[in-house]
Structure 1
Amino acid sequence: MRAAAHCPVWLAGFSAFGLGAFLSLSLAPLHILWSLPLAFGGIGVLALWARSAVQGAAIGFLAGLGYFSFGLSWIVEPFQIDAARYAWMAPFALVFLAAGLALFWALAFGLAVRWAQGGRRLVLLIALWALVEFGRAYLFTGFPWAGFAQFWIDTPAARLLPFVGGQGVALLTLAVTLPLALLRHRPLLAVAPLLLVALAGYALLCRPSEPEMSPYLLRLVQPNAPQAEKWLPERRWDFVRRAIELSAVDGASGRAQPDLILWPETSVPQLLNDAEDTLSTISARVGGLPVLLGIQRRNQGRYFNSAVLLTGQGRVDQIYDKAHLVPFGEYVPFGNFMARFGIHGFAAQAGAGYTAGPGAVLMDLGIGQALPLICYEAVFARDVNAAPARPDMLIQITNDAWFGTRSGPYQHLVQARMRAAEQGLPMVRVANTGISAMIDPYGRIRENLPLGAAGAIDAYLPKPLAATLYSRTGDAPVFFLCILLALAAAKRRRGLVPRS
């Protein structure tokens, strides 16, 4: 630790920011996983270097600022849809979002430095860092995007998701990588956490079997409507006609008749209240087959972002209203007041924006019970665990055109795959511009339409697995484990690394 002890404060801060930015390379779409030991190990060294809680908090804040600034850079994309009005806000949104999330890391690092020394500080930091990631996922409506478990979606480590969920995998990630900061002084202690991999051997080494397939064929329709054109009066019906053509049942085409057709979020550009003729046309063109689609609706002066199930003759059989809304996207706090100053949610119909639905419900689609999720709701493991009963499948309808074409849509897809793996349920994902996919109950993509392509795929629905441990327990066991670990590490005893 001698070199670190003489590190100038400015260099430590610059290094923290750079290591945080380097860590973001492990997120989709790059998934450069060798950055993990270097970034976490380096951040751990800086945490050991800190000599005051203020220094520790500054290191955590700057590391978080680097990580979230680069990992969430897609957040500027919605501001480019109507660039003349909103482009100036984009850098402020990115900086304030990244800084706000970095405050969670600052809290963990500041407390760890204040309460512990040496190797014990790293143990405490592991627990506190995992706890503030819980806070980031749950507090102030929650924003778990860019959680550490998302690094591992295409690796054997993702097989731990059905057991401990995303927060548990994040804790294990910290437990395996942060002690690398001890490599110089205590090499055995630095590599000892790798034994955690051996303890999870079954999940990591045994290849999951292929899931059984149901006899149900689903048609996933991706009209590929750019957000800047989606609502233009002269263009919006072009995308509806395209979706109808992609959905149409035509015996001459040689395609098998699907059991269910799915369209993405807000795929019908009018209110449900006024859409009787449109829905009848859709139903007629698909031969009366059931169609699940996204549409907005108004009820008693309030607007809802909804998923509806159409049956024969365009009859609306069931409705789900989105319950977990996007702050500043679908609503603005004190919306009617803020509207006086020209501040609205990007997707809001009125000053107050959308109204949240009552919560998770199951829809009977004739092929089984489905838990519908609209866009952002698939980010939240707790929303899926809130289902009133275990469904047969998860269905996400989304409009990822808001997220641009770089990292946002890929990161959104990763989180949908995580929800499938955590629950042991197939996920049917239908996106306006992509990526639409049939995801099996292990979180693996079986069929997909790429980003930015118009088309439709017919895919058979996998059968669900048995209820997973995580689906029964949720995040509570990992949360209390983090608290116990923090309490144990905060006890006063000699550190594992001698002071420099």
Structure 2
Amino acid sequence: MTHPSGIHRDVPAGLFAARWPALGIAVLGGVAAALGQAPFDLWWLALAGFVALCGLISVAAAPGRAALLAWVAGTAHFATALHWIVEPFFVDAERHGWMAPFALVLMAGGLALFWAVAGWIAARLVPNGESALRAIAFAAALTLSEAARGVLFTGFPWAQPGHILIDTPLLPLSALVGPLGLTALVLFTATALVVLVHRGRSRLAVAVFGAVAVGVGLLPAPSAPRPAADAPVVRLIQPNAPQHLKWRRDMIEVFFQRGLDLTATAPEGRAPDLVVWPETSLPQLLDRSDASRARIAQAAGAAPVVIGAQRFRDDRPVNSLALLGPDGRVQGVYDKHRLVPFGEYLPFGDRLADWGLRGLAEVLPGGYTPGEGPTTLDLGALGTAFPMICYEAIFPTDIRRVDTRPDWMLHITNDAWFGTFSGPYQHLALARLRAAEQGLPLLRAANTGISGVIDARGRVVAALPLGEAGALDVALPPALPPTLYARTGDVPILIVVLFAGLATIAAGRRRARH
């Protein structure tokens, strides 16, 4: 429509502008956005959910209203995407089960505050009537809020908008722009469709949405180079120890022996050059496990072994990854430096321990202590590996903190904590993202699954199914040259998004003055 001043104004979208249905649309939009995450991978439905959210914010009557709508959508999104967060509480249901609903509600509502801040900023800084510009400002603000969510309060960059593209042919774009760039791509695409609606071109918006959906589905995914004929062979061990049985006295030896049997299994081809066990696989403390390490060495033959273990460092327990030589001696150790809040440690843990409270994954008393930080592991003929333990694989920036680029990434984890539905699949998806954004292959040994080998394009080359015991022998895929994202990190995308947001806000204020 045309404003009395003669200046063109946006056409308000009736569905977006309706007051009472807006909260319902926010809930449905948040749920739809979450269904783009693994294992659903309905990225097109997630994009529609973000279109709905951007549209609601674009016509919100006041900043408080915009913040509320964004918070409601965010809460629905995180409650749907992260519903697996209740699983650890049911490992010992009698003791912790009552906490599960509170944990889900508090986590979903807390993470949604980042979305609320983005909604408030967009509505506060872009005046009413400038719906298209506000939608663009919201996309920029939400991208920056998601960047902050990845680092503040120890960071939790899980279930970001850009993650809906992991299982699409657009995953290789992460090599250029990283995960934050994928988030910007999703949100600004949703905003472009909202702008078309506000310009009175709803049919064109639907046509563009359909073209994007079809186009992405038809895009060819680039392939990674294949391993050389003489590439090292790595054996991944998946003992499949359910968490509620893993540390039961009568089952510890059962699972350890299962790991030994899988390690000693005769190979179909060449003998493995390295054997990898998952997180916390060693049944004793590392420095008190001479007998167990000797048994592992015997089972592995001439191959070195990487195994998840626990040990004390300076009288404090740590969650570690140990490299064992053919004689079973410890040749190298990496200590996990990113610990799971309320899982591996509790804030003010010493005081809370007096009340009988401790981390859910806490095996040793007092909670784990973080290691010194990311490093590389020299594996001789297999090159250098960048080790990650469980939760550490969700952080894209840690690898930039090591002095030299590794040849590949090594991830050991115990996803038995995450249940059998969505958590393990989302964790695997984030490992794929790490490989694609860095241009490095990633090998992953998971206690209950999914263990596998991911090439430098983020493609799963081979895997063991969730919930099955097994050993997987795979040739180590080659690395690609350092990607643009590996060299620059998130800085370029942050600058572009910040500039776009500030320019949009300035344009909105300028138009409002006229």
TM-score between both structures, scaled by the size of structure 1? 0.93
Contact 1:249-1:257 at 8 Å conserved across structures? no
| Structure 1 pair 400–295 and aligned structure 2 pair: CA distance change class (3 A) | same
Give the letter for the 1:406 counterpart: F
| Structure 1 pair 126–185 and aligned structure 2 pair: CA distance change class (3 A) | closer
Equivalent-residue separation in structure 2 for 1:136 and 1:206 (angstroms): 32
* Equivalent in 312, 330, 340 of residue 298 of structure 1: 312
What residue in structure 2 maps to residue 7 of structure 1? Answer: 18
* Equivalent in 325, 337, 342 of residue 323 of structure 1: 337
1:119 aligns with 2:132: yes
1:80 aligns with 2:90: yes
Shift, 1:495, TM fit = 9.1
Residue 305 of structure 1 aligns to a residue whose secondary structure is: strand
* Equivalent in 154, 163, 175 of residue 188 of structure 2: 175
| Structure 1 pair 292–316 and aligned structure 2 pair: CA distance change class (3 A) | same
| Structure 1 pair 496–257 and aligned structure 2 pair: CA distance change class (3 A) | farther
Shift, 1:465, TM fit = 0.5
TM-score between both structures, scaled by the size of structure 2? 0.91
1:243 aligns with 2:259: yes
What residue in structure 1 maps to residue 42 of structure 2? Answer: 32
Residue 438 of structure 1 aligns to a residue whose secondary structure is: strand
Identify the range of structure 1 (348-357 vs 336-345) with the bigger mean alpha-carbon deviation: 348-357
What residue in structure 1 maps to residue 64 of structure 2? Answer: 54
Residue 313 of structure 1 aligns to a residue whose secondary structure is: coil
1:19 aligns with 2:34: no
- Paired residues, what number? 490
What residue in structure 1 maps to residue 500 of structure 2? Answer: 485
Give the letter for the 1:52 counterpart: A
Equivalent-residue separation in structure 2 for 1:100 and 1:289 (angstroms): 46
* Equivalent in 443, 450, 457 of residue 472 of structure 2: 457
Shift, 1:249, TM fit = 5.2
Shift, 1:188, TM fit = 6.3
Residue 275 of structure 2 aligns to a residue whose secondary structure is: strand
What residue in structure 1 maps to residue 272 of structure 2? Answer: 258
Equivalent-residue separation in structure 2 for 1:164 and 1:5 (angstroms): 31
What residue in structure 2 maps to residue 419 of structure 1? Answer: 434
What residue in structure 2 maps to residue 344 of structure 1? Answer: 358
Equivalent-residue separation in structure 2 for 1:299 and 1:192 (angstroms): 59
What residue in structure 2 maps to residue 374 of structure 1? Answer: 389
**Structure 2 stretches of 5 or more lacking a match?**
1-11
- Which structure 2 residues correspond to residues 42-441 of structure 1 after superposition, within 5 A? 42-116=52-126, 117-186=130-199, 207-214=221-228, 215-248=231-264, 250=266, 254-350=268-364, 352-366=366-380, 367-441=382-456
Shift, 1:348, TM fit = 1.8
Identify the range of structure 1 (283-292 vs 104-113) with the bigger mean alpha-carbon deviation: 283-292
Q: Deviations over 1:451-484 (max 9, x none)?
A: 0010011000011000000001111111122211
Contact 2:16-2:56 at 8 Å conserved across structures? no
| Structure 1 pair 70–375 and aligned structure 2 pair: CA distance change class (3 A) | same
Shift, 1:145, TM fit = 0.5
Contact 2:378-2:385 at 8 Å conserved across structures? yes
Shift, 1:184, TM fit = 3.2
Equivalent-residue separation in structure 1 for 2:461 and 2:318 (angstroms): 32
**Structure 1 stretches of 5 or more lacking a match?**
none
Residue 332 of structure 1 aligns to a residue whose secondary structure is: coil
Give the letter for the 2:238 counterpart: Q
Backbone CA RMSD of aligned residues: 2.3
Give percent identity, aligned residues only: 44
Q: Deviations over 1:335-362 (max 9, x none)?
A: 1111011111112245541111111111
Residue 183 of structure 1 aligns to a residue whose secondary structure is: helix
Shift, 1:386, TM fit = 2.0
Shift, 1:384, TM fit = 2.3
Shift, 1:46, TM fit = 1.0
Q: Deviations over 1:4-39 (max 9, x none)?
A: 476234x21122112101211111001112213421
Residue 26 of structure 1 aligns to a residue whose secondary structure is: coil
Equivalent-residue separation in structure 2 for 1:128 and 1:269 (angstroms): 47
Shift, 1:193, TM fit = 13
What residue in structure 1 maps to residue 7 of structure 2? Answer: none
Shift, 1:301, TM fit = 1.2
Equivalent-residue separation in structure 2 for 1:404 and 1:217 (angstroms): 30
Q: Deviations over 1:377-435 (max 9, x none)?
A: 00000112222210000000000000000100000000000000011000001100000
Shift, 1:300, TM fit = 2.4
Give the letter for the 1:16 counterpart: A
| Structure 1 pair 178–5 and aligned structure 2 pair: CA distance change class (3 A) | closer
Contact 1:118-1:495 at 8 Å conserved across structures? no
Equivalent-residue separation in structure 1 for 2:196 and 2:500 (angstroms): 22
Shift, 1:147, TM fit = 1.1
Residue 34 of structure 2 aligns to a residue whose secondary structure is: helix
Equivalent-residue separation in structure 2 for 1:2 and 1:327 (angstroms): 42
Residue 85 of structure 1 aligns to a residue whose secondary structure is: helix
| Structure 1 pair 5–263 and aligned structure 2 pair: CA distance change class (3 A) | closer
